[in-house]
Amino acid sequence: MKPYRELNREELLELKKELSERYREFQSKDLALDMSRGKPSAEQLDLSMGMMDVLSSDDDLTCEDGTDCRNYGVLDGIREVKELIGDMIEVPADNIIIYGNSSLNVMYDTISRSMTHGVMGNTPWCKLDKVKFLCPVPGYDRHFAITEYFGIEMINIPMTQDGPDMNMVEELVTNDASIKGIWCVPKYSNPTGNSYSDQTVRRLARLKPAAPDFRIYWDNAYGIHHLYDDEQDHVLEILAECKKAGNPDLVYKFSSTSKISFPGSGIAAIAASYNNLEDIKGQLKIQTIGHDKVNQLRHVRFFKDIHGMVEHMKKHADILRPKFEAVEDILERELGGLEIGSWTKPRGGYFISFDSMEGCAKEIVAKCKKAGVVMTGAGATYPYGKDPHDCNIRIAPSYPPLQDLITATELFALCVKIVSVNKLLGK
pLDDT value at position 104? Answer: 97
CA distances in angstroms from 407 to 17, 135, 169, 324, 326, listed in the order given:
21, 33, 41, 14, 10
CA-closest candidate to residue 170, choices 216, 219, 208? 208
Q: In degrees rounded to 5, what are phi and psi of residue 270?
A: -125, 135
CA distance 394 to 170: 28
CA distance 170 to 155: 13
Burial of 107: CB neighbours in 10 Å, binned 0-12, 13-18, 19+: buried
Contact 187, 220 (CB under 8 A): yes
pLDDT value at position 37? Answer: 87
Judged by DSSP in three states, 170 sits in helix
pLDDT value at position 427? Answer: 77
For 16-82, strand residue ranges (E) read 33-35
List per-residue pLDDT tens for the chain, 427 residues long: 799 999 999 999 999 999 999 999 999 999 999 989 899 999 999 999 999 999 999 999 999 999 999 999 999 999 999 999 999 999 999 999 999 999 999 999 999 999 999 999 999 999 999 999 999 999 999 999 999 999 999 999 999 999 999 999 999 999 999 999 999 999 999 999 999 999 999 999 999 999 999 999 999 999 999 999 999 999 999 999 999 999 999 999 999 999 999 998 999 999 999 999 999 999 999 999 999 999 999 999 999 999 999 999 999 999 999 999 999 999 999 999 999 999 999 999 999 999 999 999 999 999 999 999 999 999 999 999 999 999 999 999 999 999 999 999 999 999 999 999 999 999 7
H or E element that contains 299: helix 293-303
| Domains of the chain as residue ranges with CATH | 4-44+310-426 (3.90.1150.10), 61-304 (3.40.640.10)
Q: In degrees rounded to 5, what are phi and psi of residue 319?
A: -85, -40
pLDDT value at position 160? Answer: 95
| N residues, the chain | 427
Residues 6+ positions from 304 with CB-CB distance below 8 Å: none
Beta bridge partners of 160: 163
Tell me how many degrees the CA angle 57-60-62 measures, rounded to the nearest 5.
Answer: 125
Residues 6+ positions from 202 with CB-CB distance below 8 Å: 236, 241, 245
Contact 318, 162 (CB under 8 A): no
CA distance 423 to 358: 9
Radius of gyration of the chain (CA): 23
pLDDT value at position 40? Answer: 97
Beta bridge partners of 154: 133
For 162-297, strand residue ranges (E) read 163-164, 179-184, 215-219, 251-256, 268-271
H or E element that contains 280: helix 274-287
| Three-state helix/strand/coil letters over 106-142 | HHHHHHHHHHHHCCCCCCCHHHCCCCEEEEEECCCHH
Is the bond preceding 401 in cis, omega lying within 30 degrees of 0? no
Q: In degrees rounded to 5, what are phi and psi of residue 123?
A: -60, 130
Contact 289, 297 (CB under 8 A): no
